Structure 1
Amino acid sequence: MGLGDLVQKAVYLGIGVASYAGEKAGEKLTELRAQVQKLADEMVDRGEMNAEEARRFVDEMVQKAQQQQATVTSEQARPTEPRKIEILDDDEPAPVSTSVDEMRQQVADLQEELRRLKRD
């Protein structure tokens, strides 16, 4: 295993730790900093990064955790729009449904939109 692989795994571990912290909004940020600092210290001890790189790594991981926590918190605080319900009386005829060709066109349009979003 090369140095690049180990650094890549460490970055993935850091991102995973940051993601976990974002999901657990109640956890203290200092605990995350300590975990990432410990990982960085181990990598410095093994000679995989120097002290300056370790400091930047810890700062980046803590910053990512803060950003994810803010994103999760803002998404949770955002009120969702209530679902619209149509109530029909038994005496009223059901609304005219769209034709099969129109529905196929809508599906095709939605599929194209999905492909466009995946590209972006």
Structure 2
Amino acid sequence: MGLGDLVQKAVYLGIGVASYAGEKAGEKLGELRGQFQKLADDMVERGEMTTEEAKRFVDDMIHKAQAQAESTASSPTAEPRKIEILDEEEVSSPESATPAATTPPPIDQVAEMRRQVSELQEELRRLQRNG
């Protein structure tokens, strides 16, 4: 097998992967459109929006999903989003409290969540070293 054959196979592999990714993206976009359409139809039935508003809603949501997918695809080297774990004192203080975090979870759940986060961080480090 010559270098030309290897290059040709690499090009075909790249085209195949791109084609497959495009098909999968199209399938997911179709699924999203169906879900958005169902939601919009339900809202129209309940009188919460008009048919024209429902059409705009579905179109806007699909446009946002496409834009999100394009921005994600165009920046594959972006750093993962940082997650901050707050202590109980920080969660219960009025400055940092959010509606979802006004009641802290029980201590055992906090400890379990921290253990899971530590495991995930270690797994991420391992994948980054091997990747």
Does the pair score TM above 0.5? no
* TM-score, length-scaled by structure 2: 0.39
Larger Rg: 1
More helix by share: 2
Q: Calculate the TM-score normalised by the size of structure 1.
A: 0.42
